[in-house]
Structure 1
Amino acid sequence: MAAGLVLETTPATSAKKSAPTPRARGGMTKKRGIDWLLLALVIVGALAVLAPFYLVLVNSFKSPVDYANSGPLALPQSLDFSGIVAFWERVNFPEKVWNSLFISGIVAVLAVLISMLNAFAIGIGRVRGRAWIVLLFLLANLLPQEVLLYPLYYMFKTVHLYDNVWSVIIVFTVIQAAFGTYLLSSVYGTFPKEILEAASIDGATRWQILWRVVFPISRPTLSVLLIFFFIWTWNEFLIPLTFLASNANQTVPVAISVLQGDRLMDVTTTSASALLGIIPTLIFFLIFQRTLTRGITAGAVK
């Protein structure tokens, strides 16, 4: 009897202990006050980020008279493309886009390649003084660009590379490769030794280990670096402004700056130039968005 009583009451007791917590619709727990506060802060932050894009988009399609009458926040009364046409013809925009694409693309590819080779030697090759070498690359990333201007100007003048796109390519390749080497060295330093030893036992050379083992596994990280290097180089302003003096060699950010005068600035044309400068990088980001997402989340799940 006692045993039977215990058997009959046990399920009821366990049911009381495992009672599920109340959930909202869709299986989600009810939001607390802090959750609503964080959501409100995220919305405010998103609006703050989107506000400049709204101003650029709205004012790009206004005439100077419409801008003077309605101000920067109002929608255009009618679409006016005079600012876009004026900037397009004034700076020869297709030429500037090609210069930026050529410089950014070459820098991104070369910087990723050099970073991978350096990181393979430092992180996997285990060269002597590895920690000091990585620290040196870190310090190279901390140097401001203003410090490099005069030595680089003198050097490029000496070797006749001033006002040549290859001078900017060389500078940014070194700068981006320093950051890529610092990042990949720590990644390759944790590379599984079992895989490398297995490849060595199978007779693979160092070059084969790099391209057939290390490169395929680290491809997502390299893809992220490639995208970042391209966008960072595209947005650079000071070094291209200093070393690309002629109009035919200038990049998009430098071309946008020529519209700003000392005492007068055409707001509608400047907004149109900013809009045209954003569009290529936006298209590039949308094309490689999936690659960027996969590369960032590649190490999250094993």
Structure 2
Amino acid sequence: MTSLPAPQAGTGRQAGQGRPAASAGSAGHVRGRAHRAPGTGTGPGRWAILAALVVLAVVMLLPFLIVTLNAVKTPAEYSSNGPLSLPHGIHLDGIIDFWNRVDFGRKLLNSLLISAAVAVLAVVLSVLNAYALGIGRVRGRLWILVLFLVANTLPQEALAYPLYYLSKEVGLYDSRLAVIIIFTVVQGAFGTYLLSAVLGDFPREIIEAAAMDGASRWRVLWRIVVPISRPTLSVLAIFFFIWTWNEFFLPLIFLISNDNQTVPVALGVLQGDKMMDATMSSASALLGIIPAVAFFLIFQRTLTRGVTVGAIK
């Protein structure tokens, strides 16, 4: 009777080692696919979104580019080649003439002073009002918020007549202080309405713990509420600055002196001047845009961080 050959010991080990190796390779492939973030592919949808964003950016930047090109042209180049042609060189005569003609440095200083003062004062006023309405829970809170909401919906044309006579009576007409007070109240109404909703969801446990430690309401506000809400307050300050910078109607009524006028008022008043040619008009528009764009670029990180923190919360 013939006996079957016994299996070699190494064969079993080799066979056993081969299967785990294949399994390990498959597991690594699966892990590689699992760790791939969703949406990181290069599908047609992502390219379509990117193309749409590029087109939108070009459409938004095209007017700014045209204004810049016309601001550095000579009047002869503009009249002979049109507004869409490239300049043969950089000519700053239109910018220099407009700067000296309207005393643009003073107008720029007035706009910076008024916008910065309104941004700071409106944020402080909004914080104080919202702290009382959102955390303090004063009586009639809902009706007060409705009042602030109605104040935000009022057009400036409806406010011009009573504010004009009120500023005349108190002796603040044709002064920067009058514009600062008006826009502080106007912007503060919006800030109060917004911050009241934000502070209404503020963690009560933190405030109660601070009160148990002996902190007063004033100390709770400036030591706890304000530092935690700093991203939101930064966003509000940036928006208040830009909104006040672009205001035209009320400053046109209240700032009639040349020394008190702001940049938008100076630009609007001189647009109908017969001594303004196309290149000087483009130079005035460029000088009016650059400060707001520079301010936005400087505080872009603060604005993005504030919006992101608010979205995460």
TM above 0.5, yes or no, is yes
Determine the structure 2 residue equivalent to 1:146: 157
Aligned residue pairs, count: 296
Q: Does 2:52 correspond to 1:41?
A: yes
Opposite residue 156 of structure 1, the aligned amino acid is S
Alpha-carbon distance in structure 2 between the residues aligned to 1:185 and 1:275: 38
* Aligned partner (choices 173, 182, 188) of residue 199 of structure 2: 188
* Aligned partner (choices 261, 275, 291) of residue 280 of structure 1: 291
Are the equivalent residues in 2 in contact too, given 1:252–1:277 (CA < 8 A)? yes
Residue 23 of structure 1, CA deviation: 11
Are the equivalent residues in 1 in contact too, given 2:131–2:221 (CA < 8 A)? yes
Q: Does 2:110 correspond to 1:99?
A: yes
Determine the structure 1 residue equivalent to 2:90: 79
Deviations 1:137-166, CA, capped at 9 Å, x for gaps: 111111111111111111111222111111
Which portions of structure 1, spanning 4 or more consecutive aligned residues, are displaced by more than 6 angstroms? Answer: none
Alpha-carbon distance in structure 1 between the residues aligned to 2:102 and 2:30: 71
Are the equivalent residues in 1 in contact too, given 2:234–2:303 (CA < 8 A)? yes
Identity over the aligned pairs, expressed in percent?
61
Determine the structure 2 residue equivalent to 1:5: none
Opposite residue 88 of structure 2, the aligned amino acid is Q
Alpha-carbon distance in structure 1 between the residues aligned to 2:126 and 2:40: 45
- Partner of 2:259, secondary structure, is helix
Alpha-carbon distance in structure 1 between the residues aligned to 2:220 and 2:114: 31
**TM-score with structure 2 length normalisation?**
0.86
Residue 27 of structure 1, CA deviation: 9.0
Determine the structure 2 residue equivalent to 1:237: 248
Indicate the RMSD between aligned Cα atoms, in angstroms: 2.8
Determine the structure 2 residue equivalent to 1:113: 124
Alpha-carbon distance in structure 2 between the residues aligned to 1:100 and 1:300: 32
**TM-score with structure 1 length normalisation?**
0.89
Deviations 1:113-156, CA, capped at 9 Å, x for gaps: 00000000000000112122112111111111111111111111
**Given the superposition, is the C-alpha separation of residues 202 and 27 from structure 1 closer, same or farther in structure 2, using an over 3 Å criterion?**
closer
Gaps spanning 5+ residues in structure 1: where? 1-7
Deviations 1:62-110, CA, capped at 9 Å, x for gaps: 1111111121111111211111011101110110011101111111111
Residue 284 of structure 1, CA deviation: 1.9
Alpha-carbon distance in structure 1 between the residues aligned to 2:86 and 2:43: 38
Opposite residue 267 of structure 1, the aligned amino acid is A
* Aligned partner (choices 169, 176, 179) of residue 168 of structure 1: 179
Pair member with larger Rg = 2
Q: Does 2:38 correspond to 1:31?
A: no
Alpha-carbon distance in structure 2 between the residues aligned to 1:76 and 1:22: 55
Are the equivalent residues in 1 in contact too, given 2:251–2:265 (CA < 8 A)? yes
Residue 264 of structure 1, CA deviation: 7.7
Alpha-carbon distance in structure 2 between the residues aligned to 1:289 and 1:89: 31
Deviations 1:12-41, CA, capped at 9 Å, x for gaps: 9x86x95876999x9964333333332222
Determine the structure 2 residue equivalent to 1:64: 75
**Given the superposition, is the C-alpha separation of residues 299 and 258 from structure 1 closer, same or farther in structure 2, using an over 3 Å criterion?**
closer
Are the equivalent residues in 2 in contact too, given 1:23–1:30 (CA < 8 A)? no
Residue 263 of structure 1, CA deviation: 7.2
Q: Does 2:148 correspond to 1:137?
A: yes
**Given the superposition, is the C-alpha separation of residues 85 and 263 from structure 1 closer, same or farther in structure 2, using an over 3 Å criterion?**
closer
Determine the structure 2 residue equivalent to 1:296: 307
After superposing the two structures, state which structure 1 stretch, 253-262 or 124-133, moved more: 253-262
